[in-house]
A and B are shown apart, each in its own frame.
Chain A
Amino acid sequence: MLFSLLSIFLAGLLAAFFYRRYPKVALPVLSLFLLGIIAYFARFTAPVLQGEVLIQEVPWINALDIHFTFLLDGLSLFFALLITVFGLLILLYSSKYMEHSAQRGRFVSYLLLFMGSMLGVVLSANLISLFVFWELTSFSSFLLIGFNHRQEASRRAARQALLITSGGGLALMAGFIFLEIATGSGYQLTELLTRPEAVADSGLRTAAIILIAIGAISKSAQFPLHFWLPNAMAAPTPVSAYLHAATMVKAGVYLLFRLNPLFQEVALWHHLLGITGALTMTLGAWKAFQEDDLKRILAYTTVSALGILFMMVGLGGEAAVNAAMVYLMAHALYKGALFLAAGSIDHQTGSRRISQLSDLMRKMPATAAAVLLSAASMAGVLPLLGFVGKELLYDALYHSGQEWSMIYLALLFMAGAFFKAVSIDIVYNALIRKGNLQDKTIREADVFMAFPPLLMAAVSLLAGIAPALVVEPLLKWSAADIYAAEPSMKLKLWHGFNRVFLLSVATLLAGAGLYVLRDRLRQVSKPAWLDADYWYDAVVSTTETLAKASTEILQNGYLRNYIATVILAFSALLIYALVDGGLGLPRPPEGLFNGLQIYELVIFALVVLAVVFLFNIRSRLIVTATFGIIGYSIALAYTLFSAPDVAITQFLAETLTLILLILIIHRLPPYTLRNTITRIKYLPVAILFGVLMTITSWIILEQDKDSALQRYFLEKSISEGKGQNAVNVILVDFRALDTLGEITVLTVTMIGIIALLAFQTDRAEL
């Protein structure tokens, strides 16, 4: 399995280089390759239908217990086949659809990157490798949504989708880590799923459920994070069909399916997912009903359909899961076909707004047939797979007995009515009605574009007529993996005239009614804040405003503020350390002024005078020069402590630094600090700092630790260092490396001076 994934990624890489240059060779080769992959997975059908589970382990990061563990059971096999078969159809379709794009090589490359990642998601049995693939699907979706990257709308939609899904991904990662902390199962799904009690006992279960749900909600476009999906329609249509209808957006649902055995006993799991799903389902259906653009209609019905799946997981129980599984399959088929057909229509007529379309039954019969069948499946009309799915949904809700099930049922009835109204709208107005396209020459789409949707529609029909033969064998095992028990799915098209069927008929009638009233219902005006996009923009702009405001405070361009910030933060820390340590205000050390010499006082006076003088200067140059006085005074002080070497070093360093600084400063604009109030503002900061430093010195000077170093140096400087002056020996022998460093510093300072003087500013460079 690892090999199949790697080969897909490799194919993607090669496609980037060769697909555009050799389309005649690349397309057949790639199609054959994908057929091979499909065959590879199909080969496992036999054992999986016996209830077998295949596992492959490939070590990756031992240090973190992260491995490529692949698991093939009914659920992952179903998804693997869905992904690969759709992938092949999409590839064929886009070979024509994207024919004239200059970047079709990249397009195919991204598509394959996505396919490999999505396969990785459904095959991984290690939570972290699953997560890695999960994020890669988000990322490839980002690249594909932004494919028409010269358009602002595409760029915005791509970035929005990336941020929403990756943001959810971060929550998901935290949730996975919680599961690992709770169970210590090395992220292995197989082990993890058998230990719900460990998760419950850890006290982390609630957090894990919420975090994982956020991940799934963002990925599967559930309310309130649903808005990225309609915007993602900026992607080329094959992408919408593949990622944003059939596969990627189902990743969230897949994850819920996968983890269902772990949480199916928990009320929070059911309520959270059920309510989120029900809300999204209703909202999406209503929004779809408002739209005129085919792709946006399909996007909102997808949001709604994903809501149904969430709701069914929330409802829980075998019947609900069976229904969800069938509905998922039905949805993938009809929605994929509808998207592709919409793409063909757009491609051939130049529009995908229903109000501008007409007559397609006659102009594009093959595509129209696909639309007709698929729309019927979407509306849940006999004898399509959509009908089977809808019946199962009603049935599961009707017989569930769960407290919320009747509310869910009522909402599903509403959503179903909207779906039907939308289907009628599409079929009647785009296909049947005679309108402005009547007299135009419009040709049927190329066979590569007409065939894939027709095939999907045909499967919808076949599966609807004989569900027990076509889809039940695999779906039953998939569903069984979700509730972790023996398969219990029994599919048939016709269940007789029971209450559920009556409900279906009622939905159809309600849908027809909605269709008739649609002009009036669509006119309902709504305020801007009801739109989720409005909130996204609000969050983004608030973040940016906050960023600007905080940065203007922290990084306002004035060095004096930076210094003040550093000093104040330092002072706060030091005061805390002083108070917390009970060090208080010490008295000056005794005998501080004993033996004070007059020349020491002179040096002291020099320093003080320089500082006072400093306060009154407005020129940077003179400020720098005054600093020099202080530096030289300190050097003088060294000579008093019989350290002439240190003093000389200090003189040298001081002089060179001064020259360097003055060279720089005289090229800068004059000092800007003119306002006296501004100057006085910094006085308390300076005083505070001075006081704190004095207190610290007093405290430290009281400590007199007998130093072994001192004794050692005094003892050895003559015998081993061969020098009379211990300071001297320390500098050139005991700690010669320090001196080497200082010499280097001086050399570099000199280089700096030379460079500043000699450099001819070349204007060519920025």
Chain B
Amino acid sequence: MSDILTPFILLPLWVLLIAFIFCILFWKYAKVQAVIALTSAAGYLLSAVWLFLAVYQDGIQVVQIGNWPAPYGITLVADLFASIMVLISAVIAFAIILYSLQDISAERKRNGFYPVLLVMVFGVCGSFLTGDVFNLYVWFEVMLVASFVLIVLGNRQGQLEGSVKYVTLSFISSGFLLTGIAILYKLTGTLNMADLSEAIAQHPDPELINLATVFFLVGFGIKAALFPFFSWLPASYPTPPISVVGLMAGLLTKVGVYALMRFFTLLFTYDLPSTHSLLLVLAGLTMFFGVLGALAQRDFKKILSFHIVSQIGYMIMGLALFTPLAIAGSIFYIVHHILVKTNLFLISGIVKVTQGHYLLSKLGGVYDRYPYLTLLFAISAFSLAGIPPLSGFWGKFILAKAGLEANRYFIVAVSLLVGLLTLFSMSKIWVSVFWSSAPGEAKGEFKYDSRTLFKSHYLLILSSVFLTLCTLVLSFYPEALIALSKRTAEQLLDPQIYIDAVLNNNNN
């Protein structure tokens, strides 16, 4: 079997699947599960690095599952974009699992937290790697049901209510995607993405393809939390424990963004002026209304949740501009955003440990009491707000440059205004949580000082430090990722490379 000759792609999936199975085998032993989860997270990270290096050096890696040749079987494809996404998802998964060891209650751990978490990452990884539209749908289902269970786990009323909204809108999204897949299959007779790319380009009736495009746009739009489909996100994200929120905030919507980028570079490029102008409008609205939503909030986690929506707008903006620099900007922005946003959620969890709240009005005094925590927050928060030279600035800068080069002045103006509003919102958190005095401070409501906080919650802090270091590398040495993003963008904008890699790989 050729699977053995090219194991790179399957390795990350294998690691997660095997870990999942072993977690179930050790159902009664939460501690063993924790060890399995952490080990597999490390293994996943290593295999993701390996996969990335293989793709980086040798080009696109392709595996035909069961050795059925493309386009008949299911193909897994790792191009640069996919392997970058797998790598960043592994970084996040590792940090989250580390964090969860001290964050998640024993009761949750006993009730399947780790296996479900691993399945969710499994779904995310599969979505990045698949080269088949129906298989993508299956991965989405895996991800959906796992994240659903993770939101529910704990049975608190807020979680349950959030989960209903989440699952309902996700089911609607699945419905749209499935219909879209059916239409594409009916129109082209194929499910393989590379094959579809050719079939769509040659299809005599683009107006029929348009129908499928609408279904996919809405389906993925819901997943990616685009305007006006984002309401499930702020409704459900703030409810479960931080480890879950951090993982979802970092990865889930980005799978939607990934799918949009894949579909609108590989498949739906037959009518750029209409499709991508529409995307540009949605991008602007998403960033604008997302940040407005954040401004209206008074709760740490809710503010962060709305900012996710807003920043999805930036990623789609790059896709919509559709120049090499713009797509590179999107990719850079995605990586930056995943690191920073997950980290901010982790930090909000640590702040909560100190004072027992997420409400801005009840928090305060962190600046004096926990200088190192303050530093961690400052790096991520002001990176998110785009203060140079932190990583968010480079993302914003590249997109602004690409937009101005393409004469799309309006969207650039919107993106810069939204940047200012993001700073407004981040400085609000900074001022009320870090600078102002806490309401209960005089009564000595702090359980810890800087030292005891670290002693009792060192894993929480270490995982945040790990992500912060990644952000700092991106900030001060952005060269590597920007150059890589540019290369990736070139690969994405030339679908023939992808098609050749998938369809002409049948002989071995």
Contacts and interface: CB of A to CB of B under 8 A. Distances in A.
B373 interface: no
Contacts of B176: 570
Contacts of B142: 741, 744-745, 748
A751 B187 contact: no
B504 interface: no
Interface in B148-175: 148-149, 152-157, 160-161, 163-165, 167-169, 172
Given A565-B231, A573-B214, A735-B135, A543 B183 contact: no
Contacts of A178: 404
B436 to A, nearest CB: 6
Contacts of B394: 61, 64
Contacts of B116: 748, 751-752
A55 interface: no
A749 interface: yes
A747 B155 CA distance: 19
B316 to A, nearest CB: 15
B461 interface: no
B431 to A, nearest CB: 5
A550 B165 contact: no
A665 B161 CA distance: 9
B187 A703 contact: yes
Given A699-B208, A708-B190, A738 B185 contact: no
B107 A741 contact: no
Contacts of A696: 179, 183, 211
Interface in B137-151: 138-139, 141-142, 145-146, 148-149
A666 B172 CA distance: 22
Contact of A738 (B71, B138, B218, B289): B138
A762 B326 CA distance: 48
Interface in A170-185: 170-171, 173-174, 177-178, 180-181
A617 interface: no
A723 to B, nearest CB: 13
B141 A745 contact: yes
A346 to B, nearest CB: 23
A751 B115 contact: yes
A735 B72 CA distance: 9
B432 to A, nearest CB: 9
B447 interface: no
A755 B119 contact: no
B126 interface: yes
Contact of A543 (B231, B295, B423): B295
Nearest to B110: A758
Contact of B189 (A61, A128, A159, A708): A708
B478 interface: yes
Contact of B296 (A139, A544, A708): A544
Given A159-B427, A745-B141, A177 B152 contact: no
A204 to B, nearest CB: 9
A63 interface: yes
A754 interface: yes
Interface stretch (B41-49, B80-88, B414-422, B492-500): B414-422
Contacts of A565: 228-229, 231
Contacts of A580: 207, 210, 274
Interface string B429-469: 00100111100000000000000000000000000000000
Nearest to A582: B207
A555 B231 contact: yes
B408 interface: no
Interface string A578-589: 101111000000
Nearest to B222: A566
A702 B29 CA distance: 56
Interface stretch (A129-137, A219-227, A419-427): A129-137
Given A577-B214, A738-B138, A551 B172 contact: no
Contact of A664 (B163, B421, B423): B163
Chain A interface size range? 35 or more
A547 B388 contact: no
A765 B154 contact: yes
A701 B182 CA distance: 10
Interface string B203-233: 0001110110110011000100000110110
B189 A766 contact: no
A370 to B, nearest CB: 34
A745 B20 CA distance: 12
A696 B165 CA distance: 27
Interface stretch (B52-60, B247-255, B395-403): B395-403
Nearest to B191: A709
B423 A163 contact: yes
A745 B231 CA distance: 25
A219 B183 CA distance: 56
B112 A737 contact: no
Interface in A539-555: 543-544, 546-548, 550-552, 554-555
Contact of B190 (A136, A559, A707): A707
Nearest to A706: B189
Contacts of B20: 744
A5 to B, nearest CB: 13
B105 interface: yes
B119 A710 contact: no
Given A709-B191, A742-B141, A559 B186 contact: no
A24 interface: no
Interface string A548-578: 1011101101010111011001100110011
Given A708-B189, A734-B73, A551 B292 contact: yes
A596 B228 CA distance: 41
B293 A668 contact: no
B164 A570 contact: no
A734 B72 contact: yes
Nearest to B382: A139
Given A741-B135, A741-B142, 17 more contacts: A566-B218, A577-B210, A664-B164, A668-B164, A693-B179, A700-B183, A700-B186, A700-B187, A700-B211, A701-B186, A712-B72, A713-B72, A744-B142, A745-B141, A748-B146, A759-B108, A766-B356
Interface of B: 17, 20, 24, 65-66, 68, 71-74, 105, 107-108, 111-112, 115-116, 119, 122-123, 126, 134-135, 138-139, 141-142, 145-146, 148-149, 152-157, 160-161, 163-165, 167-169, 172, 176, 179, 182-183, 185-191, 206-208, 210-211, 213-214, 217-218, 222, 228-229, 231-232, 234-235, 241, 274, 278, 289, 292-296, 352, 356, 367-368, 371, 382, 387-389, 393-394, 397-398, 400-401, 404-405, 412, 416-417, 419-421, 423-424, 427-428, 431, 434-437, 478-479, 482-483, 486
Interface of A: 60-64, 102-103, 106, 128, 131-132, 135-136, 139, 142, 146, 149-150, 152, 155, 158-159, 162-163, 166-167, 170-171, 173-174, 177-178, 180-181, 543-544, 546-548, 550-552, 554-555, 557, 559, 561-563, 565-566, 569-570, 573-574, 577-578, 580-583, 661, 664-665, 667-668, 693, 696, 699-701, 703-710, 712-713, 716, 733-738, 741-742, 744-745, 747-749, 751-752, 754-756, 758-762, 764-766
List of 10 A-B pairs having minimum Cβ-Cβ separation, nearest first = A581-B207, A707-B189, A547-B295, A741-B138, A752-B149, A149-B435, A755-B111, A562-B231, A132-B388, A63-B482
19 contacts: A106-B371, A166-B420, A173-B397, A547-B292, A547-B293, A554-B289, A569-B218, A570-B218, A574-B214, A581-B210, A664-B164, A700-B186, A705-B186, A709-B72, A744-B123, A748-B146, A751-B24, A759-B153, A766-B356
